[in-house]
Structure 1
Amino acid sequence: MRTRAAVLREAGTEYEVVDLEVLDPGPGEVLVEMAYAGLCHSDEHLRHANPGGRYPIVGGHEGSGVVQAVGAGVTGVAPGDHVVTSFLPACGHCRSCASGRSNLCDKGATIATGQLPTGTFPYRLDGEPLGGFCMIGAFARHTLLSEFSCVKIDPWLPLDTAALVACSVPTGWGSAVYSGGVRPGDTVVVVGLGGVGVNAVQGAVHAGAMHVIGVDPVAMKREFAESLGATRTVADAGEAVPLARELSRGTGADVVVVTVGKMTAEVFKAASACLGKGGTLVLTALADRPDEGRATLNGQITTVFEHRVQGSMFGSCNPFTDIPRLLRLHEEGRLELDRLITRRYALDEVNQGYRDQGAGETVRGLLVHAD
């Protein structure tokens, strides 16, 4: 069938909205009509060739929609079901899934090329096969997904807020709760208060942190983080170092979560300086290019003070259990989702959405497919 999508022809270009062909679902595949897609910074990294994608490629990996058709053997969803996309498929059978780390599922090996686990490239553009970023392609009105990437949700839940639980909310919330292991009474620093960072704030509050310090140069984001429970906010990570020590009576932060849009050695150094003894540094941030994300670790300090550096993919969440859990917390009034959506955009406005994001004008922009 024909559909419209925002495509990156090559790295370094802007998204181009085109008509293309999306294939019918084969075995293990699901055709979804997308309703909403979040404008995540990871899709900006794709514009800068990190991870090294296969171009052209349909952008978008955070979204929600309605199942239109399923291929042979699909049992988890059916036509008419409301779903949230999981940019990390979870097969439930590989070593990672079997050991409780489904966010590292082996089926995610081709997220940069968009080739589905079945071997299918879902789209055809001028006769050329192409994939969707993270095997999702949420910037397409219709997309073809692996059944391992479809999380069924209750039909009464609004699809706009549900879209955010595909990536930014669990990545941030889980980075504090799971990856960082925040405990009651902890002092937590969150560096970067965008779509992921504000949810790290929510996660730290949920876990019972006593002090949550938010760091961001944009005043609007600092104020928003305070409305979600951050106890103090500062504009620069350097300011957070003495503040964390003051609030913790000299010990420093128990957990520091780095969620900036672009990881650099300078950010790593400043965030590390906030840590107290036995503290954990959680990294969710990526760089535009792999070489830009390199940082120097002081092995002596790390050893003597038992610091831990923890990478965090999808907040160490399980998409099939934590996406429903987070939506349930929202229904109970224990997790803010509605106010996270700062601005809405039509598909043709996708590039403007990213310009607004780069200018610090949005916490989360939302692409609206629905008529």
Structure 2
Amino acid sequence: MKIIHRSLGALLLASLTLLVGVSSCRKDDPATKTEHTLRVLSSDHNFTAAGGTGTITLAEGGFTAKSEASWITLGATEGTKVTFTVAPFTEPATRTGLIILTRGDETQQVAISQLGAYSYVSDLESAYTIERKGGTIELTLVGDIRPSEVKIEGLPEWASFKVEGKKLLLTVESTNVFQREANLTLKLSDLYSKSFRLIQSYGPLGYDAVLGDYTLTYISTYKGETKTADVKLIADQAKKAFILQGLAADIPVAFEEKTNTLTIKPQELAKPQGVTASLILASYAGWFPGADGKATGDLTWGADYTYSATWDAVSIEHPVFPFVPSEAAKKRGHHGLHFFLFEGGNYKSAYSGTTGIHTILEFSLTKK
């Protein structure tokens, strides 16, 4: 690996000037007639990107030292000497830090300069996300870099890289899993080492992938046996939402494609043929114990009492949608949905339709 040398002469000159300045401090102050004795005799000032250790030597002991830079670590102070360590540097720009020496009212500053690494990756980000169909991430290499110097540690089997000229090409294969990621470390010889995350997400299932036959899993009352039913999600007229078929009546189901989320909202449904009462799909407590410990059959069809399910991201071929109540429904102790007939301002009866399924609690959908 090559290190920047073009500014080394200037740094040496600046350091020599500083050293001469701090080494000629033993003189009388004409105002106070006080002799200044905190004198730096020698110091290591300049370091390459690899870092290293250095020593500052003073004329006399009895002083304290403090580093003003996080990348300069002080070592032991013994007699007239203090040692320090400069950490490796992976950025291209030169940096300068100070070591402050103090004894009584006297202070001296020693400047430590470090050249930047000449070889590096331009604008490397902390994380890169790529879609499910895969693709290539293109990184720009700066400096005189041989392909054999480029290494990526932690590279998974579904990713590979190659160097073409000044480009590092990181290629990711297509995937059928919801999300996978890897923590990678990019190295250019021993001086440049940077870590970043590689994330590949399946993303939205897509409208057409959600259409189809499902198994509904549910209970119909508190501590009731688990039941299943064959149902379908079919396209609505606008092909932006769905209709859930197979229960007492068809239910509109909203769909948020970006988050793979289905939502059912309590509402008044179309009246079945020959029925005069209103048909209501309500949010229902289902005789679960309430906050006071008492079982309740409370129900409502307010718009805030929704039930939503986001794809569990386990299977793409057989996605599962576990429905959970909204915060409003949870606070009211509700656990599912209930079909009933409403007439004259009163609850008339449960409505089972032709399927006999009028109540679904703690329910989920699994695509066949």
State the TM-score, normalized to the length of structure 2: 0.24
Higher strand share: 2
Larger CA Rg, structure 1 vs 2: 2
Bigger relative CO (Cα 8 Å, ≥ 6 apart): 1
Structure-1-length-normalised TM-score:
0.24
Higher helix share: 1
